[in-house]
Structure 1
Amino acid sequence: RPSSAHWAKSNLSGEYFRYKGILFPVGVYSPESIGIAENAEVQDDDIFIITYPKSGTNWMIEIISLILKDGDPSWIQSVPIWQRSPWCEVIMGAFSLPSLSSPRLMSSHLPIQLFTKAYFNSKAKVIYLGRNPRDVVVSLYHYSKIARQLKDPGTPDQFLQNFLKGEVQFGSWFDHIKGWIRMQGKENFLFITYEELQQDLHSSLQRICQFLGRPLGEEALESVVAHSAFNAMKANAMSNFTLLPTSLLDHRHGAFLRKGVCGDWKNHFTVAQSEAFDRVYREQMRGLPTFPWDETPEDASPDPDTNPDPNPGQASEAPHP
């Protein structure tokens, strides 16, 4: 079982290595561990949660942990989140664990070209959770300050440039989402966004339950909603990462579960950063369907003087914390 102690002992240097062109942090991943994930065997009832980093992975793990137990919170309150849905590509990853009960729930940040090949000829299910890349970059910047395996992010400007060029762990956000979105329409693939979970958790949960073939009654659904709420997760020691040693995650410099809101990027981006981001975004995402974060008119530019929701008339469309 990959314990946090395993990583605490390994050398988290903040250095990266490249695997088939993609950057990975030394100490948590290795070329061997990614190779094992690429070539692993898959079972037809496996469930994979796939995200680009900082897109709500742990929220989705919590949700599916609850769905698999029909809303009963005892599992999420007694087993750490990284044991409930272990990572595929880490050193001593999910595929090396003999004791995972069926259905296996596993997590991955791998881009599609590095993901477990056997999945594509199986009935195993992938849930891909996407998130507004502006919020991703802000979250990643804060996370880089407390995660010992990541490079110091430098100034916000430098970090934004690195992010837009894909010179960050797991490569380009744009390549990641464009790769996985090609799976849309396949019956063992579900694409859902962080913003949809925020806007209407209840309907989103029904979609996820239907996809997993696990319909829940109203009472069980309400329990999933209540126990996967941000404040419930933040208060749950099994889910808030406070169990990890400081050598891995330095909580003195910030919380792992920071805000859990949509649109926080507007409190961080300067107008120039926002324009630089939009230029690259438009170019990279040309021809793709629109995403929830493309549709809110307030997202057009950061307004330093106002709340993220300046027009109450559009409140129903704006993502709410």
Structure 2
Amino acid sequence: MTEAELFFMYKGTYVLHGTHTPETLKYFEEFSFRPDDIIIATYPKSGTTWSQEIVPLIVSGGDPTCLQSPNWERVPWLEECQKFSLNLEERPSPRLFTTHVQYNMMPPSFFQVKPRVINVMRNPKDVFTSAFHYFEKASYHLNPGPQNEFLHKFLDGKVLHGSWFDHVKSWLNAEDKEHMMHISYEEMIMDLKDSVSRIAQFLEIPLDDEVIKNIADRCLFKNMRTNSSNFSMVPPEMNGVSKSEFMRKGITGDWKNQLTVAEAECFDAVYKDQMKDVKYKFAWD
């Protein structure tokens, strides 16, 4: 399989033929949001699966039965094909969704209704590292090839869902900031209980301290790996990836074990240039 067979261009970013079709993208573009919808917006390999466990638990008041369905059904990706069988219009509020698209690519209804968004970001060096290992194993994807070659593709945005820099900046520069919460993978690693509390406050869901602690304990990486629904959420076309390969380490700073000194310096130079006008203080800076 070639890149041309695997990807196609949608509004300037690469998406997968298998999960993105003209029908699914038309559905996405015409989707009608509700004001109390909750959207988890992430660049791939930035804590999506983690967030898809944390947020439902918060919304349910800590009830673990909300996690019995697979993740792609529990918090579906709006732009992908699995949603067609889920009757999203009939779901009770608040509905939970996930998206990997940039802010400027969201449907017209999103800008009119202004649902709440939890934007989860991660150090791009760790995003690169996680993606490199995942693409080596996922049978639905091309092998990334030599690491240095894949690094330059990543830095140039010539990878699935485009540039990390464009994605992160699009959500950080979004309007209607009162409807949006930005949080990092690193913050969640450092203090998950505090992160759960902050997300609950943003969603205006009152939770007592014990419930917050229980949610945080349940969502520790070592405990998430025991929840089979977090692996069964992987759509059928992503077969060939074991649980240990999909949920690999769940740590920060693994890029130090992956990038050479020269590659890290190259990454830093591009990062400095791309993010020079961004005022947001990231946890990894």
Normalising by structure 1, we get a TM-score of 0.82
* Contact residue 48 and residue 126 of structure 1 kept, 8 A: yes
> Aligned in 2, Cα 1:253/1:126: closer, same or farther, shift over 3 Å?
closer
Q: Which has the higher contact order (CA 8 A, sep 6+)?
A: 2
> Aligned in 2, Cα 1:99/1:148: closer, same or farther, shift over 3 Å?
farther
* Contact residue 124 and residue 164 of structure 2 kept, 8 A: yes
* Contact residue 48 and residue 105 of structure 1 kept, 8 A: yes
Deviation readout 1:88-120 (Å, 9 max, x if unpaired): 000243786344332100000001121122112
**How far has the Cα of 1:243 moved from its partner?**
7.0
**How far has the Cα of 1:281 moved from its partner?**
0.4
* Counterpart mapping for 1:134-213 below 5 A: 134-183=125-174, 186-213=177-204
* Counterpart amino acid of residue 113 in structure 1: N
How far apart, CA to CA, are the structure 1 residues paired with 2:182 and 2:248?
Answer: 24
Number of corresponding residues: 281
* Counterpart amino acid of residue 218 in structure 1: D
- Give the aligned partner of residue 42 of structure 2: 51
How far apart, CA to CA, are the structure 1 residues paired with 2:102 and 2:135?
Answer: 20
How far apart, CA to CA, are the structure 1 residues paired with 2:207 and 2:5?
Answer: 43
> Aligned in 2, Cα 1:13/1:237: closer, same or farther, shift over 3 Å?
farther
- Give the aligned partner of residue 262 of structure 2: 272
- Give the aligned partner of residue 106 of structure 1: 97
- Give the aligned partner of residue 278 of structure 2: 288
How far apart, CA to CA, are the structure 1 residues paired with 2:101 and 2:278?
Answer: 21
Identity of aligned residues (%): 40
* Counterpart mapping for 1:213-228 below 5 A: 213-228=204-219
Q: Find the structure with the greater CA-based Rg.
A: 1
**How far has the Cα of 1:278 moved from its partner?**
0.6
- Listed as ranges, the gaps of 5+ residues in structure 1 are 1-11, 295-321
How far apart, CA to CA, are the structure 1 residues paired with 2:261 and 2:96?
Answer: 41
- Give the aligned partner of residue 26 of structure 2: 35
* Counterpart amino acid of residue 168 in structure 1: V
Normalising by structure 2, we get a TM-score of 0.92
* Counterpart amino acid of residue 41 in structure 1: S
* Contact residue 126 and residue 189 of structure 1 kept, 8 A: yes
- Give the aligned partner of residue 6 of structure 1: none
CA RMSD of aligned residues (A): 2.1
How far apart, CA to CA, are the structure 1 residues paired with 2:77 and 2:12?
Answer: 21
* Contact residue 71 and residue 233 of structure 2 kept, 8 A: no
- Greater per-residue helix proportion: 2
- Listed as ranges, the gaps of 5+ residues in structure 2 are none
